[in-house]
Amino acid sequence: MRIVLLGPPGSGKGTQAARLSESLGIAHLSTGDILRSAVAAKTPVGLRAAQIIQRGNLVPDSVVISVIADRIEQPDCSSGFILDGFPRTIAQAEGLDELLKGRGILLDAVVELTVDEGALIARIEGRARETGGARADDNPETVRRRLEVYRSRTTPVSAYYRAQGQLHGVDGMLPIDEVTKEIGEVLGGVELQRTALQNG
């Protein structure tokens, strides 16, 4: 399966994508993780991205589209992948459409996790405490900026997929296991629909 997981910072994308990757045996592609590794390794992409991430802004579309284009060519993506944190702008969503079209593959589903803003902030604060503030962007000022950027740049991406009939909302306020179960039900429904279409 090829799945996009959408949701604001702290909504549980990384948590759920890791579980889905394990249960479905597909690759977990997190642009946030890829960029943080690039920053740690001081690659040209990392050097360009470090300050942008620290300020809570978005890395340029062309950079992340090219990162994903390279990544989906890897053998571990041949049986499918889950995109966590990409696409985050309309230009990235259009870029992804082009990439997939060029390879003759389709997205199976876009799952959006919805979570109240107060809970998002509390979760990120919790993670910062647990990890001793390991992420440079998990401080209150940057979290506010990440949420603003999500509202202005990424909310339109939900509308983009809704218009294509691909968007499935899941209540991300539920406990972690319940969210996993709800996503499983959504994907089960998508699979059934696909089988029915194939069988005419």
Where in the sequence numbering do the catalytic residues fall? 13, 88, 127, 135, 146
- How near is the Cβ of 6 to ligand AP5 at its closest, in Å? 9
Min dist. Cβ of residue 128 to ligand AP5 (A):
9
**Half-sphere exposure at residue 109, Cβ-oriented, CA atoms within 13 angstroms:** 21
What does the DSSP 8-state code read for residue 59?
P
Nearer to ligand AP5, 112 or 137 (CB): 137
Of 6, 27, 179, 187, the one binding ligand AP5 by CB under 6 A: 179
Nearer to ligand AP5, 12 or 161 (CB): 12
Q: Which residue has the tokens 């990544």?
A: 71
- Closest Cα partner for 14 from 143, 142, 124? 124
- Closest to ligand AP5 by CB, 134 vs 192, is 134
Q: Is 28 helix (H, G, I), strand (E, B) or coil?
A: strand
Residue pointed to by tokens 């390879």? 103
Q: Residues 52, 91, 186, 190: which binds ligand AP5 (CB under 6 A)?
A: 52
Kindly state the number of chain residues that form the binding site for ligand AP5, as judged by CB under 6 A. 32
Specify whether the CB–CB gap between 21 and 11 falls below 8 A.
no
- Residue 128 tokens read as 């910062």
Q: Which stretch binds ligand AP5 (CB under 6 A): 74-82, 98-106, 118-126, 161-169?
A: 118-126
Six-digit token string for 16: 């759920």
Which residue, 166, 115, 91, 162, is CA-closest to 9? 115
Chain residues that interact with ligand AP5, rule: CB under 6 A:
7, 9-15, 31-32, 35, 52-53, 56-59, 64, 85-86, 88, 92, 123-124, 126-127, 137, 146, 172, 175-176, 179
